[in-house]
Structure 1
Amino acid sequence: MDLFEYNLEQNQSYKPLAERMRPNNLDEFFGQKHLLAPGKVLRRLIENDRLTNMILQGPPSSGKTSLATIISKMTNAEFIKLNGVNLGIADLREAIKSSKENLRLYSKRTILFIDEIHAMKSNVQEALLPPSEDGTFILIGATTESVMHDIIPPLVSRCKIYSFTHLEPEDHKQIIQLSLQNQERGLADKYTISDEALDYLVDITNGDVRNSLIALENAAYSLHGRNNIELEHIQEAVEQRINGLSQTDFYDIVSAFCKSLRGSNSDGAIYWMARLLYSGVDPMYIARRMVVHATEDVGMANPAALQMALAAKEAVQFVGMPECRMALAQAAIFICESPKSNSAYKAINAALETVKNAKPFDVPVHLRDGTKTYVNPIDNPDTQLEYFPSEMKYHKFYKPQNSGVEAKIYNKHMIKQQRSQ
């Protein structure tokens, strides 16, 4: 580090408040007590400088990068920081080369921290496998996305996954108060904040400390001679609630939406749908999910559900947002309030499993193309034909359920079964 870099490092005034207030040590770190409270395994590994490969997964601004910065100050290893967004093979090779030289020349370990590790291409992730396995470096990855969906399984298997959570409101409030009071890195005790404004700021930013500190700084600097931050100042600084979805949130909310459709809970389905729409999820994706559930979960109990779902899809294409939200809501409620039957779903799955595991039986002669022995059952209702291969005579794939419209089919099958006994 030369003199100019040193002066830049010492001068914090140009940095945003959120960056200045990053914790310098574990005692300044708020939240994640399940991982970093005194006596917890991860804290002991950091304090004893005995780290192993790990991935820190959690929502934005929950402390992943801050913890990595603390580790860089507490460890005796060299610390290399990269970002998965623009990380290529050449950059990784340079890091591997540097790590090997540290071991060979100085017997010193290297910690390779990769922020946004989920953004790396799969072939670059694969290049991490040998050096992270043989100890060339200790890998620390940070991601807001799903480890299982966005990181290749071999890399996941080489790392311990530590799950971060949103900050608790009280921890969040303490960070804001410290930011107001800190003389060196904060707002130097020049401003105060009302309880109402503080509660609102913590609530509307949903545990995202970075965004709350950005809003706090904007509100403070807009006071024009006053020094008390009121609710109206925070409302001006944060115009709308921060409800963005990470990939993990997306999968969880889609799962909740689908389970609400299946569980006939209209309020739940509408709420989770609203979360998806508000966060900018393609309404066509939601329509596709409802087409699936109209056939998988409602099915024969109310065949009109499929028509309703397809009509919602057409509405999405025809009018788009925001108006198509009404058609989506109508279809969701129709699916929820319909009787349920998954008999068609079970029937095709059972048939596919049989086709997969059994040899292909011949088509009966009277069913083959061009046959002279076929009798049309509509014109000859008393004719008995076998529609199965003789070897599968006793197989039964479709089992109607006593629900909705399908109840009539169920009763017909029950009568036929009783007659055959």
Structure 2
Amino acid sequence: MEKEKQQLLEMGFSDDLASQALSATAGNSNSILSATEWILTHQQPPASKINHHYQPQSQLRNQQEEQPLAERMRPQTITQIVGQDHLSIIRSAIASARLPSLILWGPPGTGKTSIARAIVNSCSSSSYRFVSLSAVTAGVKDVRDVVDEARKRKRNSIKGTITRTVLFVDEVHRFNKSQLDSFLPVIEDGSIVFIGATTENPSFHLITPLLSRCTVLTLNPLQPDHVATILTRAADDPDKGLAHSLGRGSVQVSREVIEYLSHHCDGDARVALNALEIAAVSAAARLDISDHSAFTVLLDDAKEALQSKHLSYDKDGEQHYNLISALHKSMRGSDADASIYWLARMLEAGEQPLYIARRLIQFSSEDVGLADPTALTQAVSCYQACHFLGMPECSINLAQCVIYLARAPKSVAVYKALQAARKSVRDSAGQNEGVPLHLRNAPTKLMKELGYAKGYIYPPDNPSFQSYLPASLQGSKFLDWPDG
């Protein structure tokens, strides 16, 4: 009885509630499961943003009825993870039962949450307790509660009981600095194993002390053959797959559907699974199948479910900057075909045309410059056209400007001249000379008496040489460009 009571206390139930449950369910073969279900039936637990790993079987069954296909098909162990074979460090950690703190960085739908759960499920040791938080909904109090409970468990550890907490934080980049700081001491003293998931570059969105305590693992976008494997599992699984979604015994999925979805989900397994489930439901409705007879999901059902090719893009994230960088470098390399491709990628993903136009103006001076001074006029006109027309009409204006800039002769002389002049100013910080007297304006009698403008030669009347630089910079050359 004491052992069962201790397990209930570790689940977070109070001492009184645990005693009542064990008394009410005395004599049942599975006392822990029966006692837990009694508590959930007779005592409504408070709402919490913390998702604990343990749940009674009846509750799991009820939840599974409502879960989408993508959630039901999550891998349960690390061996079921598809498409991330390069993460050998995880398998080594599981084999040694010593889990490191991790940051899982990758695009949506690559398995970050699944990997975190599968790590704990794959551990042969029962000393790990899994707790999940979402940085979207969790606050400082939620973080503090988890940290306090983790410390208490470590401090009051009993042999054979769960002593360490694996804390999984989804969308961890959304936490502010103070929230991230709160994890540092408990990671360091071993109270928790921290696993954070993020779609954003950790170097920019997470604090350096946290990165120094964690191993950053990069997850690759899933390849079509990986997605096809996941879709085939969902189609063939009689318990959690498509048959479960429709409440019928047999659902066939044509090979064309698997291939189409795997090539049009942009490496996001969640998108592919959601589309497959929608396609199956639509097919059943279209065929008006009310009994349990078998039917086949066809390519047209998949196309209707997906509507258009999914594009991975975040207007404020790394992918946004990766694509504009690709466009800029393609124009700099005078590759018009690559340039128009990257422009199309950005437009199809919904990028704002004025943002692209502003970058084209920058490019026209930085990379074309004096080699074709009219490039700046072209880019400014493109911006005005985008402002006047908007999408989708202005896409052709952007395309014309991108191709013009890609084909234009290139010169970085203006850019280098500015950089050299600015370096000269910085190197002379605090000792920059005043403007030579002959270059100063003299609007008053006093200023004339002080020598302002004295000796200045008006070039239109007398084009003879005169110096325009301070004395210490006489003869300096910033612009490398042929005269005339």
Q: Does 1:80 align with 2:131?
A: yes
Out of 78, 92, 109, the residue aligned to residue 164 of structure 2 is 109
Kindly state the Cα deviation for residue 231 of structure 1 after the two structures are TM-superposed: 0.9
Mapping of residues 1-40 of structure 1, within 5 Å: 2-3=36-37, 4=40, 6=56, 7-11=58-62, 12-35=64-87, 40=88
CA deviation vs aligned residue, 1:18-69 (integer Å, no higher than 9, x gap) = 111111112222110111xxxx222111232212221101111111100111
Kindly state the Cα deviation for residue 411 of structure 1 after the two structures are TM-superposed: 5.0
State TM-score, norm by structure 2: 0.78
Aligned length: 398
Letter paired with 1:399: D
Q: Are residues 344 and 142 of structure 1, via their aligned partners in 2, closer, same or farther at CA, if it must alter by over 3 Å?
A: same
Letter paired with 2:222: L
Q: Does 1:176 align with 2:231?
A: yes
Q: Contact 1:180 / 1:190 at 8 angstroms: preserved in 2?
A: no
- Structure 2 CA distance, aligned partners of 1:302 and 1:365? 36
- Residue of structure 2 equivalent to 1:164: 219
Q: Does 1:150 align with 2:205?
A: yes
- Residue of structure 2 equivalent to 1:403: none
CA deviation vs aligned residue, 1:177-216 (integer Å, no higher than 9, x gap) = 1111112211346122222222111111122211211121
- Structure 2 CA distance, aligned partners of 1:267 and 1:299? 22
Structure of higher RCO (CA pairs closer than 8 Å, 6+ residues apart):
1
Out of 252, 255, 264, the residue aligned to residue 192 of structure 1 is 252
CA deviation vs aligned residue, 1:94-121 (integer Å, no higher than 9, x gap) = 2221121111111722221110111222
- Residue of structure 1 equivalent to 2:149: 98
- Structure 2 CA distance, aligned partners of 1:17 and 1:249? 27
- Structure 2 CA distance, aligned partners of 1:360 and 1:147? 41
- Structure 2 CA distance, aligned partners of 1:249 and 1:266? 21
Q: Contact 1:49 / 1:74 at 8 angstroms: preserved in 2?
A: no
- Residue of structure 2 equivalent to 1:419: none
Out of 388, 393, 417, the residue aligned to residue 347 of structure 1 is 417
- Structure 1 CA distance, aligned partners of 2:256 and 2:165? 47
- Structure 2 CA distance, aligned partners of 1:296 and 1:157? 37
Q: Does 1:133 align with 2:184?
A: no
- Structure 1 CA distance, aligned partners of 2:177 and 2:343? 32
- Structure 2 CA distance, aligned partners of 1:106 and 1:280? 53
Out of 331, 354, 369, the residue aligned to residue 441 of structure 2 is 369
- Structure 2 CA distance, aligned partners of 1:101 and 1:28? 34
Greater Cα radius of gyration, structure 1 or 2:
2
- Structure 2 CA distance, aligned partners of 1:122 and 1:317? 38
- Structure 1 CA distance, aligned partners of 2:220 and 2:110? 6
- Structure 2 CA distance, aligned partners of 1:183 and 1:300? 68
SS at structure 2 position matched to 1:138 = strand
What's the % identity of the aligned pairs? 37
Q: Does 1:299 align with 2:369?
A: yes
Letter paired with 1:51: L
- Structure 1 CA distance, aligned partners of 2:476 and 2:181? 47
Mapping of residues 230-245 of structure 1, within 5 Å: 230-245=298-313
Letter paired with 2:302: I
Kindly state the Cα deviation for residue 156 of structure 1 after the two structures are TM-superposed: 2.3
Q: Contact 2:180 / 2:210 at 8 angstroms: preserved in 1?
A: yes
- Structure 2 CA distance, aligned partners of 1:267 and 1:63? 34
Q: Contact 2:266 / 2:312 at 8 angstroms: preserved in 1?
A: no
CA deviation vs aligned residue, 1:331-382 (integer Å, no higher than 9, x gap) = 111111111111111111111111111121232221122223211112101x
Q: Contact 1:312 / 1:331 at 8 angstroms: preserved in 2?
A: yes
RMSD of Structure 2 on Structure 1 (CA): 1.8
- Structure 2 CA distance, aligned partners of 1:398 and 1:92? 57
Kindly state the Cα deviation for residue 140 of structure 1 after the two structures are TM-superposed: 0.7
Kindly state the Cα deviation for residue 143 of structure 1 after the two structures are TM-superposed: 1.0
The runs of 4+ residues in structure 1 deviating greater than 6 Å are none
Q: Contact 2:78 / 2:122 at 8 angstroms: preserved in 1?
A: no
- Structure 1 CA distance, aligned partners of 2:303 and 2:367? 44
Q: Contact 2:106 / 2:199 at 8 angstroms: preserved in 1?
A: yes
SS at structure 1 position matched to 2:234 = helix
Mapping of residues 216-365 of structure 1, within 5 Å: 216-221=276-281, 222-223=283-284, 224=287, 225=289, 227-246=295-314, 247-358=317-428, 359-365=431-437
Q: Contact 2:434 / 2:470 at 8 angstroms: preserved in 1?
A: yes
- Structure 2 CA distance, aligned partners of 1:316 and 1:149? 31
- Structure 2 CA distance, aligned partners of 1:170 and 1:319? 42
- Residue of structure 2 equivalent to 1:393: 474
Q: Contact 1:61 / 1:210 at 8 angstroms: preserved in 2?
A: yes
- Structure 2 CA distance, aligned partners of 1:288 and 1:310? 8
SS at structure 1 position matched to 2:242 = coil
Q: Are residues 134 and 388 of structure 1, via their aligned partners in 2, closer, same or farther at CA, if it must alter by over 3 Å?
A: farther
